[in-house]
Amino acid sequence: MVAALAVYKKMDLSTPYHLSNFINGTLIAPVKGNYIDNVDPSTGKVYGEIPDSDKEDIELAVKAARSAFPAWSKSSNEYRFKILNRIADLIDEHSEVLALAETIDNGKPFWLSKKVDIPRASSNFRFFATGIMHFASESHQMEDRSVNYTLRQPIGIVGCISPWNLPLYLFTWKIAPALAAGNTVIAKPSEVTPVTAYLLSKICQQAGLPAGVLNIVHGTGPSAGEAIVTHQEVRAISFTGSTRAGERIASLAAPKFKKLSLELGGKNPNIIFADCDWKKMMDTTMQSSFSNQGEICLCGSRILVEESIYEKFKTEFVARTKKLIPGDPLLEDSKQGAIVSEVHYRKILDCITTAKKEGGKIICGGEPVIPEGRCAEGFFIQPTIIEGLGPDCRTNMEEIFGPVVTLQSFKTEEEALLLANTCSYGLAATIWTSDISRAHRLSSRVESGIIWVNCWLLRDLRTPFGGFKNSGVGKEGGWEALKFFTESKNVCIDL
């Protein structure tokens, strides 16, 4: 057993704890005193309660953000750098506690929280803290007539709404650039995985972040989330989540002319040619298929394999997948953890049933798992592989967001391209080939915002992140994020 399990056993979970909202630098209860149960998905048991906030709580947060904006927006880049970098340092100092909280809240393996989620959260703050020191504007001279220069100014109060799959990772991915650019923020984490956002509140207090600059309000999307989106003083919305929720946010925010960044779903093709580096491809495809229980928008859920190697691939892929036995996420040898919630667990099982009705053949997995011990009532599903379905069925068109992948074969490069693009999503794609010319050709023609060639999830924070089609609107990352969270103003001076 890892130390995490020993620590977990010492925790007093007999009485559910209460989280608090973080408004104006203070941890406070929701105005109406209503709470939502928080469930440990690995046990199926309630272990905490979170604020069920509504528009009254958002109004308090807006008031605090409004008051804090003048001083924060006029503060120097160096000052903001010091505060945000201090937050990054404190995340690193408390990484074990944060990782354990993430695992209990989300169900992902503890080793994954330690290796990926928490380090990336601190990297987000450190990257944008440094980036704002180098963020430059442009100037344009009109011969001897005039000079134009561009000012980049903070927007004001912005709303950041993040999902449950990578809770602190994606929460900080939005908050850090918004704060670095000089905005004040009202942020809502997912009500399914709120604990690390709550712990971040305490870290911000310790780091000396001025009161009201960041306000973290817990609650559901229809209540707290929509109150953020519709508030007239919230000038921009950055959202990551489902396409359905994104459509709702756009319908509410667009008539009010708010800036929108929507990072939505993915149904990503993993295109495998016969001339690939076999071992590297197999190792990486296992990761891109089932990492984080498949609950990553960038997972390669549609695996497209060249016909000449299809049977070889299928045999080895199935054999490897059968070894991924879901279990207690606090154990070192657990490669697969729990599905994040009972609602999502049942949705995934329904999707597998739909695949069967469409004529799909389950060649691996497809069933719930009941681990022994403390996780006997948790939400676990076998990693699942499905073949025999065409590109136009629901299973290959709709995002499942779980440990479920489909296999399809192709004969030619053109057929592979057609299969890859026959989907309403366009977030990411992976191409496996040793032919660099083919890699360039396909990269320019696959309809996805991110193309990985002979790799997966290799992320440079300086690069733009975002998708095409139903995968969203706008780009995050690097200068794109800092541009989104600022307004450009042109100044023309007649010489």
* pLDDT-derived band at 1, boundaries 50, 70, 90: very low
Residues 23 and 184: their CA atoms lie apart, in Å, by: 12
In sequence order, what DSSP letters do the residues of 35-94 get, joined into one string? EEEEEETTTTEEEEEEE---HHHHHHHHHHHHHHHHHHHHS-HHHHHHHHHHHHHHHHHT
* Residues near 216 by beta carbon (within 8 Å), at least 6 away in sequence: 21, 22, 23, 187, 188, 189, 197, 198, 200, 201
Catalytic hit among 102, 191, 226, 263: 263
Q: Does domain 269-460 have CATH number 3.40.309.10?
A: yes
* pLDDT-derived band at 9, boundaries 50, 70, 90: low
pLDDT digit string, tens, across residues 317-339 = 999 999 999 999 999 999 999 99
The pLDDT of residue 29 is above 50: yes
pLDDT digit string, tens, across residues 334-391 = 999 999 999 999 999 999 999 999 999 999 999 999 998 999 999 999 999 999 999 9
In the chain, the percentage of residues whose pLDDT exceeds 90 is: 95
DSSP state of 299: -
The verdict on whether 393 is a catalytic residue reads no
CA 492 to chain CA mean position, Å: 40
pLDDT of residue 144: 84
CATH class of the domain whose range is 7-264+471-491 = alpha beta
pLDDT of residue 17: 80
Token pair belonging to 47: 């272990």
pLDDT digit string, tens, across residues 430-460 = 999 999 999 999 999 999 999 999 999 999 9
pLDDT digit string, tens, across residues 34-71 = 999 999 999 999 999 999 999 999 999 999 999 999 99
pLDDT of residue 131: 97
Residues 285 and 397: their CA atoms lie apart, in Å, by: 20
The pLDDT of residue 143 is above 90: no
- Would you say 345 and 381 are in contact if contact means Cβ atoms under 8 Å apart? yes
Token pair belonging to 356: 């069967």
Q: What mean pLDDT is predicted for residues 187-195?
A: 98
- Would you say 200 and 188 are in contact if contact means Cβ atoms under 8 Å apart? no
Catalytic hit among 297, 351, 375, 423: 297
The verdict on whether 263 is a catalytic residue reads yes
pLDDT digit string, tens, across residues 466-494 = 999 999 999 999 999 999 999 999 999 99
Domain ranges across the chain: 7-264+471-491, 269-460
Dihedral sign from CA coordinates of 428, 434, 435, 436: positive
The pLDDT of residue 8 is above 60: no
Average pLDDT, the chain: 96
The pLDDT of residue 5 is above 90: no
In the chain, the percentage of residues whose pLDDT exceeds 70 is: 97
The three-state secondary structure class of 265 is: coil
pLDDT digit string, tens, across residues 230-285 = 999 999 999 999 999 999 999 999 999 999 999 999 999 999 999 999 999 999 99
Token pair belonging to 271: 């295109």
* pLDDT-derived band at 14, boundaries 50, 70, 90: low
